[in-house]
Amino acid sequence: MKQSTSTQDYLKHIYELTECGLPASTNDMARKLNIKPASVTGMIQKLATEKPALVEYQKHQGVTLTPAGRRAALEVIRHHRLLETWLVQTLGYSWDEVHEEAERLEHVISEDFERRIAAALGNPARDPHGELIPTADLKMPEDDSTPLSALRPNQTATIQRVIAQDPNLLRHLESLGLTPGIQIEIMEYSPFDNNLTVKVGRKVNVLGLNITTKIFVEIK
């Protein structure tokens, strides 16, 4: 029942890679986990033969989670996001410092610890990056946000979440005022490079695809 740190990280990353609906490829997994593709194949084969199976796997076809695997993944993701929230709220971490710490803690906290921090935080719905936190019964709430890259001039929106762990990117976004809850307005769109000119407060910035695809918003 209780999985190793490695297994938990594999399941978490498979969850994230398959959110788009497609199976996760061996190479993508290897890149994301910083492990060689050959090792990924080996581990995936093991996860597929556990009882109950944690992943669905067919040679050369990529991998998806079984219901048991999804539950295990959501458990880890809940830990991770609660921990991040809690490191920010109670220990004064900034949003670019929490990821690495949560990455290690997520595997060792007890269910009791999970309940205690969830309660202390008032069962938060989102983590410091705006990501949804799976509920205590391991359901992932629906997300209705749109990538900023899809907006066009004159649209107004509220930033809901930012998909990034890189501390440098997170600090950059913070310096631009692009954090969850903030209102923005699209001023211009340039085709070909897909840049968006965005007004945040009274500042105006031109943002490239590398940024606009990582920010998800709720359109007004």
Partner DNA sequence: CGTAAAATTTAGGTAAGGCTAAATATATTT
Partner DNA sequence: AAATATATTTAGCCTTACCTAAATTTTACG
How many residues of this chain bind its own copies (CB under 8 A)?
A: 18
Structure tokens at 100: 């690495």
Pick what 75 binds: Mn ion, DNA, its own copies, none; C-beta below 5 to 8 Å, kind-dependent: Mn ion
103 lies in the binding site for DNA (CB under 7 A): no
4 is a contact residue toward DNA (CB under 7 A): yes
Task: Mark residues 75-94: x for contact with Mn ion by CB under 5 A, - for none.
Answer: x-------------------
Residue 108 binding target from Mn ion, its own copies, DNA, none, CB below 5 to 8 Å by type:
its own copies
Q: Select from 19, 36, 42, 100 the one that contacts its own copies (CB under 8 A).
A: 100
Cβ closest to its own copies, residue 34 vs residue 191: 34
Closest to its own copies by CB, 28 vs 84, is: 84
112 binds its own copies (CB under 8 A): yes
In whole angstroms, the minimum distance from the beta carbon of 176 to DNA comes to 33
Burial annotation 42-65 (CB, 10 A radius, 16+ → b, else e): ebbeebbeeeeebbebeeeebbbb
Q: Which of 16, 50, 56, 103 binds Mn ion (CB under 5 A)?
A: 103
Q: HSE of 159 in the Cβ direction (CA atoms, 13 Å)?
A: 28
Contacts to DNA by CB under 7 A:
4-7, 25-28, 34-46, 57, 59-62
